[in-house]
Chains A and B, each alone.
Chain A
Amino acid sequence: MSREQMHSQVDDAALVARARGGDRSALEQLWISNRRWVAAIVLAHRPRNVDVEDLMQQVAVKVISKLDTLRDEGAFKPWLRQIALNACRGAARGLRPTLSLTTSETPERGQTVAPPASGSEHGRAMVDHRDAAARLYRQVESLPSEYAEPLIMRCVQEMSYAQISEILELPITTIETRLARARRMLREEMSGDTLAGDIGGDA
């Protein structure tokens, strides 16, 4: 276990203990310091058409109502990840018929990005950039979740391998390998994409 992981677990354990004792500020601190990566987990595992924000609200509710069930106070992060996974799985079970509830202002999967009003070179470059990012993101969504998850965690919070390793309960070398493999998969998929020329153009 790295020093970073040990510090993190000690911090979490202390906050969990205080939160269980009724300290609301400790509970909030615990949530605020972890919610970004929780959002990454949700993003990696959510069913399509389910809003990340709604799932995060479910997770938040569970954190309050289930904190007493956490056996090992030092294992708060894996426990929290499991809650996030359960929320996503629950949503997947109940959402066989597709019903979009999203109010996201960002493009949904498969949607094109609306160009800005300006027809300037800068405007077109912005569109190209956003379109390339959207295509890349769609490829990430199609990755197996064990690869998408650490990759999105890196993107959301620039988490270190040690931090990701602690949450996913996997060796650091596995995290490293999965990230490299995820990037290879993306490269292969993007090079097979008929529109990939735009991506490669600014390399």
Chain B
Amino acid sequence: MTQHHPPLSEVELLISRMVDHEADAGEVATLYERAGDDPVLYQQLNQSLADHARLSAHVQRDIARAVNVNLPASGEIARGPSSSQAKPAVIDLMWRSAATIGWAAVIALAVIFFGQDRAGNRDGELNVPSGRYIDRSIVEPHILQREDVQGQPLEPLPLQTKQLPDGTWEILWMHRSLERIVTDEFDPAWIRDPSETTQ
């Protein structure tokens, strides 16, 4: 992006103020008077207005859901466990990402591990994520059965590739799905880490 900033011209400021509905009648008259001598100014004004309209429409669409985010229902919101706790690499990546994004995403990422087939360490080579999970036994069932769960499939996670004696390849992978719920009932105790406590 351009770093050098030559001074703005009066016309540039004027056009920008017109786009933003900040120009007064005198300024509008000035611009039209100048455009009489230099019709390119009309083109610049039209272009600026069109760009602003396009950009506004795009931005509005981009944050349509975000501008409707409400305050949590309860005053005290429990937060997720600290990201500084030790955890396996794959989980660590996901957890750090989730911890920065908020409690809703913390739940979402933990939910990834629901329903996963923990295939076991066959041949000792499998890249199976092990670690944090949501303890379904202590989560109110209605929370995980809500209709507003938003699911999004992720790319399959490769576990192992191995060439077989006949020259073919055996490829093991794990299906993953990302699910997300929004709830005000989150309790950090849902998240279990087998490496930290004996269950």
Q: Give the interface of A toward B (CB within 8 A).
A: 27-28, 31, 35-36, 39-40, 42-43, 50-58, 60-61, 63-65, 87, 90-95, 97, 99, 101, 103-104, 106, 129-130, 132-134, 136-137, 140, 142-144, 151-152, 154-156, 158, 160-161, 176-177, 179-181, 183-190, 199-200, 202-203
In the complex, A91→B72 CA distance in Å? 20
A133 with B93: CB separation less than 8 A? no
A55 x B43 contact (CB < 8 A) = no
Nearest 6 A-B pairs (CB), nearest first?
Answer: A94-B100, A180-B16, A133-B58, A133-B54, A58-B102, A52-B66
* A189 adjacent to B47 (CB under 8 Å): no
Tell me whether B46 is interfacial, beta carbon within 8 Å.
yes
Q: By the criterion CB–CB under 8 Å, are B105 and A43 in contact?
A: no
Q: How many angstroms from the CA of A187 to the CA of B80 in the assembled complex? A: 44
Return chain A residues, CB-CB under 8 Å to B16: 176, 179-180, 183
B binding-site residues for A, Cβ under 8 Å: 1-2, 5, 8, 12-13, 15-17, 19-22, 43, 46-48, 50-52, 54-63, 65-67, 69-72, 75-77, 79, 83, 93-94, 96-105, 108-109, 150, 152, 178, 180, 182
Given A101-B178, A137-B55, A183-B19, the answer on whether A90 and B100 have CB atoms closer than 8 Å is yes
Instruction: Tell me which of A64, A94, A156 contacts B60 (CB under 8 A).
Output: A156
B67 & A144 in contact (Cβ 8 Å cutoff): no
A57 to B98, CA, bound (A): 13
Q: Once the chains bind, are B70 and A202 in contact (CB under 8 Å)? A: no
A183 to chain B, nearest CB (A): 6
CB–CB B13/A177 < 8 A = yes
Inside 8 A of A99's CB, which chain B residues have their CB? 93-94, 97
B66 adjacent to A42 (CB under 8 Å) = yes
For residue A34, give the distance in angstroms from its CB to the closest CB of chain B. 11
Contact yes or no, B70 A54, CB < 8 A? no
Docked complex Cα distance between A181 and B16 (Å)? 9
Other A-B contacts than A61-B72, A179-B16, 11 sampled, CB-CB below 8 A, are A51-B66, A56-B66, A57-B69, A64-B75, A95-B97, A133-B54, A137-B55, A154-B20, A180-B16, A184-B8, A185-B2
25 A-B pairs whose Cβ atoms sit less than 8 Å apart in the complex: A43-B62, A43-B63, A55-B66, A55-B102, A57-B104, A57-B182, A58-B102, A60-B70, A61-B72, A99-B94, A99-B97, A103-B178, A104-B62, A130-B58, A136-B58, A142-B1, A154-B56, A161-B20, A161-B22, A183-B19, A189-B2, A190-B51, A199-B51, A200-B47, A202-B50
Q: Which residue of B lies closest to A151 (CB)?
A: B55
State the main secondary structure of chain A at its contact with B: helix
A137 with B150, Cβ < 8 A, contacts A36-B67, A95-B100 known: no
Contacts of A203 in B (CB 8 A): 43, 46-47, 50
| Contact of A180 (CB < 8 Å), options: B12, B56, B72, B152 | B12
Chain A residues whose C-beta falls within 8 Å of the C-beta of B47 in the assembled complex: 187, 200, 203
Inter-chain contacts of A90 with B (CB < 8 A): 100
Q: How far is the CB of A100 from chain B (nearest CB, A)?
A: 9
**A59 to nearest B CB, angstroms?**
8
Q: Given that A61-B102, A155-B59, A203-B50 are known contacts, is A97 also in contact with B22, CB under 8 Å in the complex?
A: no
The answer, among B54, B67, B93, B108, for a CB contact under 8 Å with A136, is B54
Residues from chain A with a CB closer than 8 A to the CB of B58 are 106, 130, 133-134, 136-137
Complex contact A35–B62 (CB within 8 A): no
Known: A56-B66, A137-B59, A183-B48. A101 touches B105 (CB 8 A): yes
Q: Are B70 and A31 in contact (CB under 8 A)?
A: yes
A29 to chain B, nearest CB (A): 10
